[in-house]
Structure 1
């Protein structure tokens, strides 16, 4: 028997979806979507803390800023989703209160990143921390958070791609397939898995580039945006979920968003490298009133 004959037996026929996305401990619901988001937040804080200490920051400062960034990010992510998909919540036979039901899914990454970054800026300024070094320390961990958070879509059986006969096609429940307008038994591109793998690969690229070239002055953030949008653009193109403001000159809203953000991030990266080569030597403001954190930035460690 030759290897090609064995491939159908070695490869999975499909990727099954979970039979349920909610479990109960007594009256308390434990939701797969929420667990994915929480696990991503924990991973981002842990990675960010290690990178921040390697940059010359103090232990615990990332956790302190998370008290600002996480609530801001959740609100921003939900606002972006509700604004771009408002037809799901407002209009005839719609209940606007469901716009608050975050546990059903629906967090727009760009809203989460924008307001989450605003939360970091507010917390950093209150703590005497320079904003750009902190954002550079946090950015790679956000990619890991996004990778883990995407599994929430798997639990909710949402945001999958076009039908496919590939061996890793995603199974969904009969009701989900019919609601999407396809026959029962259709399998779909597992876009949650594609984005998870892309984000993890982008994390490795960004961390390597930061270590190799000692990026600073916001260039790690710019590289994060560039690597993420490269993947998000083609993955978004595979998705079939309805989005308000879809098909703008033949492309989905989030594809256009990815294109614009990639161009802006690339321009910032180049301008910043020309104006501010190298990396910041201190991570706290001179007027912070505490010089314990003002010291030469250390080389990134092997565990960064």
Structure 2
């Protein structure tokens, strides 16, 4: 007898007139907004201002969304090409399918380019962004809950996820993902919740390390810790999932990617300690740049 479980939401979208609003999209947008706010708070402590964060976000966020979608399309091409695919679905991101590695790579590349153009210390931006990314990813995982997708194998644990039968969510027609029908009332590992909790803990740890150890660690260290923390969690959580995924040597591709990125994160962490700059030095440079920008802005306003 099942005494406790996590219910699935009865709906995944609602309409305002002719416009359909999906909770998946709301969760993604909420994650972006919270990440911008948290990054701004941390960036200002380093000596920057909100205008700088806004300019970076205006190019990095769209690039990150495009990159996230491209990663998903490249790793699951059969959903969009070939006899069983429809390339038009590439643009339907509200149906789910955003790969975090594509988002980090393309968004990070865009942010790096802008920082280089403006001479902002990229390592400081990365450290300011590190816990914010984990918080944004945690919020975004709630979108998978609304879509009833990307859950794990059947379980009898009291926090198992029960799917509903409203026929309104993505995962409703794919309960076991293996062509079989699960018995009525089957519970599944709520991998969205596991990752949400893992990311929230990681964000707190990174903030704590930032307060306690940044006089010892070099600038950029917190971002490498983010990489290591997230990939460590993603490895074991990914192995619980039963949704379709390509495999290599019997292991899901995303597991391989997570392990490889974890190793890369360790190597970069070591490199940063050897060749990175102290946070205090880069923060002083950022304060000087910010003051110069604000003076130029004031001069322009007076001229107008």
TM-score by length of 1: 0.87
Q: Any stretches of 5+ residues in structure 1 without a counterpart?
A: 1-7, 295-304
Residue of structure 2 equivalent to 1:292: 291
**Cα root mean square deviation, aligned:** 2.2
CA contact (8 A) 2:220 2:276 kept: no
Inter-CA distance 148–293: structure 2 relative to 1 (3 Å threshold): farther
Paired residue secondary structure (2:89): helix
Q: State yes or no: 1:221 paired with 2:223.
A: yes
CA-CA distance at 1:289 after TM superposition: 9.6
1:176 alignment partner in structure 2 = 173
> Where in structure 2 are there 5+ consecutive unaligned residues?
166-171, 294-304
Size of the aligned set, in residue pairs, is 282
The structure with the largest helix share of the pair is 2
1:290–1:265 CA distance, 2 compared to 1 (3 A): closer
Contact in 2 for aligned 1:216/1:280 (Cα 8 Å): no
**Compared with structure 1, are the counterparts of its residues 242 and 293 closer, same or farther at alpha carbon in structure 2 (3 Å cutoff)?**
farther
CA distance in 2, matches of 1:74, 1:289: 32
Q: Secondary structure at the match of 1:238?
A: coil
Q: Which residue does the alignment assign to 2:244?
A: 242
Distance in 2, Cα, partners of 1:143 & 1:12: 32
Closer, same or farther: CA 96–134 of 1 in aligned 2, 3 Å: same
2:137 to 126, 146, 155: 146
Shift of 1:284: 7.9
Q: Do the aligned residues in 1 keep the contact of 2:43 with 2:128 (CA within 8 Å)?
A: yes
* 1:162 and 1:240 in contact (8 A); partners too: yes
Q: Give CA deviations for 1:40-98 in whole Å, capped at 9, x if unaligned.
A: 00110000000000111123211221101110000000000010011111111421111
Query: 2:262 matched to which residue of 1?
Result: 262
Q: In the alignment, is residue 252 of structure 1 matched against residue 243 of structure 2?
A: no
Contact between 2:176 and 2:242, CA under 8 Å: does it hold in 1? no
CA contact (8 A) 1:89 1:95 kept: yes
Describe the SS at the equivalent of 1:160: coil
TM-score (norm 2): 0.87
User: Structure 2 vs 1, CA of residues 24 and 206 (structure 1 numbering), >3 Å: closer, same or farther?
Assistant: same
Flag the 1:107–1:284 CA change in 2: closer, same or farther, 3 A.
farther
